[in-house]
Amino acid sequence: MADSTVSHDKLARRGLLFILSSPSGAGKTTISRMLLDADEEIRLSVSVTTRPPRPGEIDGVHYYFVGDAEFDSMVEEDDFYEWAPVFGYRYGTPKGRIRGALKEGQDFLFDIDWQGTQQLYQKDQQDVVRVFILPPSIAELERRLRSRGTDADEIIAARMERARAEISHWDAYDYVVINENVDACFAKVREILDAERMKRQRQTGLIPFVRELMS
Ligand SMILES: Nc1ncnc2c1ncn2[C@@H]1O[C@H](COP(=O)(O)OP(=O)(O)OP(=O)(O)O)[C@@H](O)[C@H]1O
Ligand SMILES: Nc1nc2c(ncn2[C@@H]2O[C@H](COP(=O)(O)O)[C@@H](O)[C@H]2O)c(=O)[nH]1
């Protein structure tokens, strides 16, 4: 007989690597922050970048901001899970202790581009969940980049220039969500996360539970 003291909502499970990508300005940082506020079980994988901080960005919270020499030495020391050049700067995912924490059921959120997504997926297909966010239109994408008020005109132009190339990678993702209304987009992203957590393969606690049920 199954042990009635086992909580069915809290069966052990393996964590996942939840990736949000999009062309710049489509809203993945906005959705990431909403997710981190709403969900205590997921933690942001804080990237390392050579890009200078934007107003309001905090070192160690939004990114680890480093110089070129420090980034070079991290590459040499094999400190990155993946790294890629984006918009003239370098961005990388530090290894930290992701693998051990995954086993303990910790989920990680990644706000990374398509190149980093490919590299992470090649390293760990079973744990990666890939979500691509699309803007409702190219004109709205540009409006959002301008309304954010963080980038000079030439940076916005460079990001718009690359938008179509980035969108062309949409079919390398497991899920694609259009971010027209931010609350509706967030709700869909949460549904994806919830469903992925319930996948049989991730629910390591099911095996002893089912054995118990069948005994
Ligand atoms: N659904 C939405 N409707 C209107 N504005 C939005 C929506 N989603 C996000 N925004 C706004 O668009 C701007 C860009 O969003 P955000 O910074 O999240 O994009 P991003 O994809 O993370 O860009 P980057 O890759 O450059 O960091 C922000 O000012 C944000 O508040
Ligand atoms: N491959 C990686 N891409 C990353 C990482 N961290 C962020 N990014 C991507 O860079 C662009 C630009 O970001 P921004 O903050 O300067 O607007 C965006 O597409 C991010 O998703 C990383 O560690 N690896």
Q: CB-based contacts of 143: which residues, under 8 Å, 6+ apart?
A: none
ipTM of the modeled complex: 0.96
CB-CB contact of 196 with 202 (8 Å): yes
DSSP one-letter code for 204: T
**Tens place of pLDDT for every residue, the chain, 215 residues?**
444 455 666 789 999 999 999 999 999 999 999 999 999 999 999 999 999 999 999 999 999 999 999 999 999 999 999 999 998 999 999 998 898 899 999 999 999 999 999 999 999 999 999 999 999 999 999 999 999 988 899 999 999 999 999 999 999 999 999 999 999 999 999 999 999 999 999 999 999 999 999 99
Residue 149 CA, closest ligand 1 atom number: 29
Ligand 2 contact, 167 CB (< 6 A): no
Rg of the chain's alpha carbons, rounded to an integer? 19
Residue nearest atom 14 in ligand 2 by C-alpha distance: 24
23 is in an annotated binding site: yes
Region label for 12, one of left (φ > 0), alpha (ψ between -120 and 50) or beta (otherwise): beta
CB-CB contact of 75 with 95 (8 Å): no
DSSP one-letter code for 59: B
